[in-house]
Amino acid sequence: MESVHLIVGLGNPGAAYAQTRHNAGFLLAERLAQRWKWNWAEERKFKARVAKGQQAGRRVLICQPQTFMNLSGETVGAVAGFYQVTPDRVLVAVDDADLPLGEIRLRASGSSGGHHGLESIEQHLASRTFPRLRIGIGRREGAREITDFVLGRFEEAESVSMGKVLDRASDQVECWVDGGIEKAMNRFNGVIDSTNEKKK
């Protein structure tokens, strides 16, 4: 069977959560589908929105779980099982409050870092060896309780920065599909600014 790359953007469904910081993974999934001109379809058996196509000569799926963040693994496990996707070909894009806005970090594996969406996926894949692309959203200085901030919408200046982040993260995902994890990490991890944009 032809190997499949699965790109999962994490977020919460519904208008109340649209364009919030916690939905950074959803935003990246939407940016990729827009870039590749793929159409979304509701896949109720997976509790997901899915876009499918060919990228760099490979079969690729983009998935937005519709289970709410903390149960994302139900969808990811079901999709990965149905399409026989091995964990190393499941890239999960997720917001990270411990990274400043404007920074992205792709890793081949790792811990959940307390992110409940990643915890759920680890449980349902029975593995931590899946790539995770952390998209920095920052946090209020000195704030311990970040729920309201994470579930809040980007301010105008933040939205401009996030647009650049999503473009570069999309480039990184394309590189991962085409060239593998090491190449994608080495070329694109770090802070998005005018200097490393020129390196592309």
From CA 77, how far away is CA 187, in angstroms rounded? 29
Of 32, 104, 86, 108, whose CA–CA distance to 63 is shortest?
32
Give me the amino acid identity at 154: F
* Residues acting as catalytic residues: 22
Residue 60 DSSP code: E
Give me Rg for the CA atoms of the chain: 16
Specify the DSSP element, H or E, that contains 76. helix 72-82
CB of 64 closer than 8 Å to CB of 11:
yes
Beta strands 90-96 and 132-136, pairing class: parallel
